[in-house]
Amino acid sequence: MQQELEKINQQLIRSQYKMTHQREATIRILLENEEDHLSAEKVYMLVKEKNENIGLATVYRTLELLCDLHIVEKMNFGDGVSRYDLRSDEHEHMHHHMICQICLEVKEIKDDWLKEIELRVQKEYGFKVSDHRLDFMGVYNNCNGKDCKKEDKLLA
């Protein structure tokens, strides 16, 4: 995790950006919550919880910057806020997601199952795919919907 942080820092510097406390704090939060899909507001709260000084506008600006550098992916699950997800190390494709309609939990599938289908898109539609997004809506077999009520998730 320290070395991933370092890697991203280097990437910023290489691209002529300055490394500030706020940017580092933001990246650290993203790394610590790699499995989640944080909203800007949530990142802001988590940074402040650590007694680091930061403004919400800076969080937005940093996230946009990381997006431009393809370090994070901005996504939208339709609940009115944008969420940000670290791309995996190889910076290859976005993850696939499973969104449980009972508990609203979003889990990731890190395999890339679409290679074949992308070839088909290329062949049948003349469309060269450079990235994709695949979300499944459904229900976990073992979702009890008790310890993970919708309202809680929406507030989270």
List residues binding a second copy (CB under 8 A): 74-76, 78, 82, 98, 100-101, 107, 109, 113, 117-118, 120-121, 125-142
Partner in contact with 139, chosen from DNA, a second copy, none, beta carbon below 5 to 8 Å by kind: a second copy
Count of residues that interact with DNA, criterion CB under 7 A: 24
> What whole-number distance in Å separates Cα of residue 44 and Cα of residue 60?
9
Q: Which CB, 22 or 88, lies closer to DNA?
A: 22
156 forms part of the interface with DNA (CB under 7 A): no
20 forms part of the interface with DNA (CB under 7 A): yes
Q: Which residues pair with residue 97 across a beta bridge?
A: 108, 135
Please enumerate in sequence order all residues whose Cβ is within 8 A of that of 20, keeping only pairs 6 or more positions apart, or say none: none
Of the candidate spans 54-62, 91-99, 112-120, 127-135, the one that interacts with DNA by CB under 7 A turns out to be 54-62
* Residue of 6, 10, 13, 117 that binds DNA (CB under 7 A): 13
* Residue of 34, 35, 50, 55 that binds DNA (CB under 7 A): 55
Q: What angle do CA 41, 43, 47 make, to 5 degrees?
A: 120
Shortest distance in whole angstroms from residue 58 CB to DNA: 3
> What whole-number distance in Å separates Cα of residue 101 and Cα of residue 85?
20
Structure tokens at 144: 């009890």
> What whole-number distance in Å separates Cα of residue 83 and Cα of residue 73?
8
* Residue of 6, 7, 19, 136 that binds DNA (CB under 7 A): 19
Structure tokens at 139: 């229900």
Partner in contact with 130, chosen from DNA, a second copy, none, beta carbon below 5 to 8 Å by kind: a second copy
Furthest-apart CA pair in the chain: how many Å?
54
Q: Which residues pair with residue 96 across a beta bridge?
A: 109, 134
80 forms part of the interface with DNA (CB under 7 A): yes
